[in-house]
Amino acid sequence: MTKTIVLLGAGSGLGAAVARRFGKQGHQVALVARRPEPLGEIVDALDDLGVPAQAFTADLTDLDAIPALIDRIRGHFGGIDVLYFGAATSEGFTPAEHLTTRQVADFAALYTYPLIEAVQAVLPGMLNRGNGSILYAGGATAIQAPPTMSGPAPAVAAARNYLQTLNAEVSTRGVYVGALFVSAMIAGSAAHAEASKWDVEGRFPVVDPDDLADILGQLHTDRSAFERSHPQLAQ
C-alpha cells in the first residue's frame, strides 16, 4: 500500500533531502512552503527519481488555513502516514538580554503554533488507524543554548516540550513522535546561504542534509527514541 509523507516547510536543504529519502522508500510526497518556485524545483527532482510528488503553496503562519490545507492534501493523496515539520527562517540569533516578547511571539508563530495546528489536523486519523509518524527538525539551541544564541530557541524549545509530551501520550497507540535537533548549518539551506555572508572563514560547522534525512528515517523506522541531535551534543 502506498504511503504519504507531508513536509511542512519544505526547503532546499533538509526538506528536499527528507523528500528524497522517504520518496525512495516508497512514499508519495506532499511539499508545503510559501514560495512556489523552490517547491517546483523539488517536485521536478523527485519526478526524475520516479517519486510521485505535489507542491502546495501555503503560509504556515496562517493557522486558520492549515486544516483546509491538510484536507486538500488528503484529497490529492488520501491518508497521511508521516507528517514532517521543518519550517525555518534565515533570521539570525539574538542575545537573550536583548530578546523581546514580540520577537519570541514572531518565532513561535513559525516554529510552534503551526506545528500544533498541523498535528491536530492529522493525529486523529493516525490514531484511528493505529499507525503514523510525526517528525520535527529544529535547532539544537532548544536543548543547549550558548551565549548570544537565543531568538528562535525558546519557540523551538516549546515545540520540543510539546512533542516529547505528545510522544509519551500516543506511542502506545501506534503513533510515533520524534525530533532531530541540529547544531550546525545545513548545506544548501537558506540559513546556510545567509550565514555564509558573515562566516566567510567557514568556522561554523556544516552538515550534509542527506545525513540528517537518514537520521529522521531511522527515528521513523526504529521508533525507540524520542530525539537525536547532530552533531552529537556534549553531555
Q: Output the pLDDT for position 18.
A: 97
Report the distance separating Cα 131 and Cα 80, nearest Å: 10
Would you give per-residue pLDDT tens digits along the chain (235 residues)? 689 999 999 888 899 999 999 999 999 999 999 999 999 999 999 999 999 999 999 999 999 999 999 999 999 998 999 999 999 876 778 899 999 999 999 999 999 999 999 999 999 999 999 999 999 999 999 999 889 889 999 999 999 999 999 999 999 999 999 999 998 776 666 565 555 555 555 567 788 999 999 999 999 999 999 999 998 876 5
pTM: 0.92
CA dihedral angle for residue 113, residue 118, residue 120, residue 123, rounded to 10 degrees = -140
At the fourth CATH level, which superfamily is domain 3-230? Answer: NAD(P)-binding Rossmann-like Domain (3.40.50.720)
Report the distance separating Cα 222 and Cα 216, nearest Å: 10
220 neighbors 199 (Cβ within 8 angstroms): no
159 neighbors 115 (Cβ within 8 angstroms): yes
Q: Output the pLDDT for position 40.
A: 94
Domain ranges of the chain: 3-230
Classify residue 109 as exposed, middle or buried by CB count within 10 Å of its CB (0-12, 13-18, 19+). Answer: middle
